[in-house]
Structures are given as C-alpha cells and as structure tokens.
Amino acid sequence: MESDLFAARSPFGDLERKQRETFLISITRFLFYVTGPIIVAFIIFFLVAPAWQSLLPVILSSVSVPVSLLARRMSRQGFPERGGFILISYFFVMAGSNGILIDGFFPAVAPVFTAFIVMSGMIIGPTGTYYMGALGSATWLAAWWIVSAHIITPISTSAVILPVLLGGIVVITFLLVSFLSTLSTSGLRSALNDATYDLIQINKELNRANKLKSQFMARTSHELRTPLNAIIGFSDLTLRKIYGPLTQFQEEGLSRVLMNAKRLLALINDILDLSKIEAGELTLAETAFPIKNVIQIVDMTLAKKAQEKELGFSMSVAPDFPPQIVADENRLAQILLNLADNAIKFTETGSVAISIESPVNGHWSIIVRDTGRGIREEDQDLIFEEFHQLDYTVTEPKSHGTGLGLAITRHLAEQMRGEIKLDSQIGKGSEFKVTLPLKVPEKETQPALVSQGVV
C-alpha cells in the first residue's frame, strides 16, 4: 500500500501528475524572478539597521534559492507533491520569521500565507491543501503568539523603510496570486483541449468500428438469406408433396424445419435492417398506393395467429382517409406488422384492434390497441432499445423474440419524419400510436380545382 501522504491520484492519473509537475516548475521559475529583489531589499535593510534580527531575513531569503532548486529537481524526478510540500513549508517558516523579527511586519504575513495555500492546491492537490492549510494556520498562530507575548524583541524600522517593505511584499503577493490564477487557467484550458482532442479521436475510432460492424452484419445477413430462402422454398414444396407422398412423421419434421427456418429468416431480416439503419444505408422507396394494401398484408399474416389464441382481431380505416398515400409501402407494412404481432404475442384474452386515423394538421396515425398485460412505466422507454426484452412475461418465453422489432419500428418512424408513442397500464393493455406526415399523389390534392373547371 502507498504510504506517501501526498501520493493520492485522481482517476486521470498521469495527466494530473504531469500538470502538477508543470505547475511546480513554473512557480519556481517565478520565485527566482522575485527572490532577487527581496534579498536586495533585506540587505539594504540590514545595512541601514545592522542587527541579528535584520540579518536573519537576509539568510532566510537567500536559502529560498536552493530550496526552490530542490523542489524543482524533485518535480522533474516525478515527486511534485513532495517538492511542493518542502517549498511551501519553507516559505511558511520564512514569512512567519520575518513577521516576528521586523517590527510592524506581521500584518503582511496573513496574505502571503493565503497565496502559498492557494499554490499548494495546484501542486499537492485537494487533500494536500487541507494539510498545508492546517500547517499554515499553526505557523501563523505560533508567530502571532510570539509577537503578542514579546518573546523575541523585533527590530524597529524607520517610517520610510517599513512602508517600502510592506508595500513590496503586498505587491509581490498580488503578482503571485495573479500568476497562479493565469497558470491555473492556462493549464485547465490546455488540459481541456487535450481531453477534447482525445475524445474526438476516440469517437472517430468508435464510429469507424461501429460502421465496420454494421457493414459486416449487413453483408453476413444478406449472404445468410440466400441459403435460408432455399431451405424454406424446398421445405414448402416438399410439404405440398410435390416430390411425392410423406409419412406423418416426415410432415411433422419438415413443418418444424420450415417454422424455424422462417423464424431464423425473420431474425436475419431484423439484423439486416438494424445494420442498415446504424450504417445510415437504409433508404425509403416512396410510391403511391392505397392504405388497404397494407391492411390486407397484416390481415393475411396475423389474423390466423390471433384466431389460434382466440383473440378478437379487427382493423379499420377512417372513412375520410385519402384513397392513396405516398410512402414506402413495405416499410409501412413492417411497422404495422411489428406492432400488431407484438400485441397478439403479449395478449392472452380480449382483443387486438388496429385503426388508421384521419389526417389532422397534415399528419395521420396508425394505432394498435390490445388488452394484454401492459408495460410498466419504467420500461416504456427501454422497450424501444435494441435487443431489449421485458423479463416479466409469463406465457411467452423470451426466446420468442429478438428485442429488435420495436427498435426498428421506432427507427423507421423517425426516418419517415414521424414519431411513435406508447400509452400502457399494467393489467389494462397498451396502445402504440405512430404519427406520420401525410403525403398524397398530386392528383389527390386537386379534385376541387377540376370540379371548378380548372384543368
């Protein structure tokens, strides 16, 4: 286990440590610039008022150079937290000693300590800042007690030198705080730029990988359909006894082959559609057709399934619905089949009703209602996600579905510039409503003009 008090890492690890190393090196460079004038000022003060109290600030200020070099070396060796701890601790001692030794100088200690604590947050990190704050507070309280108790007799200064010293320290403190603020801002901006660039590159790679995956799935699914169609076709011909009579066991076996082959083909078609959607390769073939065509497809495909479950099954079209609309007939039938098939699958008693509603404000609706078990409110958004299946079904095994039907339905509705909504209550059934923009052939929009004699 790591025993170093200041060795804690953030989740960004190396990036944060590199940033701290940069901060410490930049701060020591700044201190080199300001240490010279400070040493010169204290030397002048010593020459004007020679005493051990005025000599000690000169010595302490001069020691700041090797201490800064040591902290800088430790930072380059990969220990910025330890180097920062040594550097800031030294400056606490130096500032506190100067406040004790020079009469009237102690008020300048507090803002200097504040600047150093801010510095510790940039070098040592959040946890280390609390320790340095506690150390700074203890140092300041000790210095305040020594000054208040007159344990050490400070050296008096003239009315000219003291304001100069105080003013110089205040100015240097302001410059240090400004430098730290600028350094922190530029460091943050640089880190954000680096992180943003990395995220962009990762996102590009993910998009490329996702596109390759979608292309692979689309090509594989397409190739699988050819032999499956052959299996389905020859199985169907054999069941029709085109190739000769069959025994009862042979018919049952071939029926199972045909049923599972059709189920597998439906799964492959769903995967192919999803792959095309994810790759942005799904296109709509819009033609003019009567909506009754789609109704007939659904009736022929699902009426028998509803009858086998003894469910009521009805379909209706609003009387004022346009005779023809412009859309992708196959994709529209796919939407309706997915919704109706799900409704029948998860309804045990009652009925399933499909209705085509009249256009309102340039949009028309497909509504599929059932009296099934319903869907929990927290699951109503999840069911439109790919490969998501509800786990509280009772009579239908989860393996009967792929979790793709509703996801594809949502994508198709959105590609048609429409939307799908769900209203469901547990034990009362569900209602799926697909709203699509109405498009009709141009001739359907002009009967009124023809009746007025406009050709």
Q: What is the pLDDT of residues 158-173, one digit of tens each?
A: 666 667 666 666 677 6
Indicate whether 185 belongs to any domain: no
Specify the residue for token string 């799904």.
Answer: 282
Written as one string, the DSSP assignment of 233-292 is: HHHHHHHTTTTS---HHHHHHHHHHHHHHHHHHHHHHHHHHHHHHHHT------EEE-HH
pLDDT of 404-437, one tens digit each? 778 888 888 888 899 999 888 888 889 999 999 9
Q: Tell me, yes or no, whether 60 lies in a domain.
A: yes
| Over residues 7-31, mean pLDDT | 66
Rounded-to-integer distance, Cα 131 and Cα 106, Å? 23
302 domain-assigned: yes
Name the residue range of residue 368's domain. Answer: 287-443
Domain membership of residue 119 (yes or no) is yes
The predicted pLDDT at position 435 comes to: 92
Tokens 């109290």, residue located: 53
Q: How many domains does the chain have?
A: 2
The model's pTM is 0.49
- Which one of 94, 125, 157 terminates a domain? 157
Which of the listed residues 113, 130, 157 is the one where a domain comes to its end? 157
Which of 66-75, 89-98, 160-169, 342-351 comes out lowest in average pLDDT?
160-169
Of 138, 157, 176, the residue that ends a domain is 157
DSSP conformational letter for 346: T
Q: What CATH number does residue 435 fall under?
A: 3.30.565.10
Q: Considering the domain boundaries, does residue 246 fall inside one?
A: no
